[in-house]
Amino acid sequence: MTLPIGVLISGSGSNLQALIDRMEVGVLDVTIQAVISNVPGVKGLERAANHGIFSQTLSHRNYPDRASYDRIVVRVLRDAGVQAVVLAGFMRLVGPELLAAFPGRVLNIHPALLPSFPGLHAQEQAAAYGVRLAGCTVHFVDEEVDHGPIIIQAAVPALPGEEADALGDRILALEHRIFPQAVQWLAEDRLEVQGRQVVVRPGERLLATRNDLPPCLVFPPLEEGF
Ligand code: GRF
pLDDT (tens digit, 9 = 90+) per residue, 147-157? 999 999 999 99
Peptide bond into 221 cis (omega under 30): no
Q: In one letter, which amino acid is 205?
A: R
CATH code for 110-138+149-226?
Answer: 3.40.50.170
Residue 101 CA to residue 74 CA, distance in Å, equals 7
Domain limits, CATH 3.40.50.170, in the chain: 1-103, 110-138+149-226
Task: Summarize pLDDT for 143-188 with one digit per residue, the tens.
Answer: 999 999 999 999 999 998 899 999 999 999 999 999 999 999 999 9
Whole-structure pTM value: 0.96
**Is the CB of 180 within 6 Å of ligand 1?**
no
What kind of fold does domain 1-103 have according to CATH? Rossmann fold (3.40.50)
Q: Which of 172, 174, 177, 179 to mutate to test the pocket of ligand 1 (most atoms within 8 A of CB)?
A: 172
Task: Show Cβ contacts of residue 183 under 8 Å, excluding neighbours closer than 6 positions.
Answer: 5, 19, 28, 30, 84, 86, 107
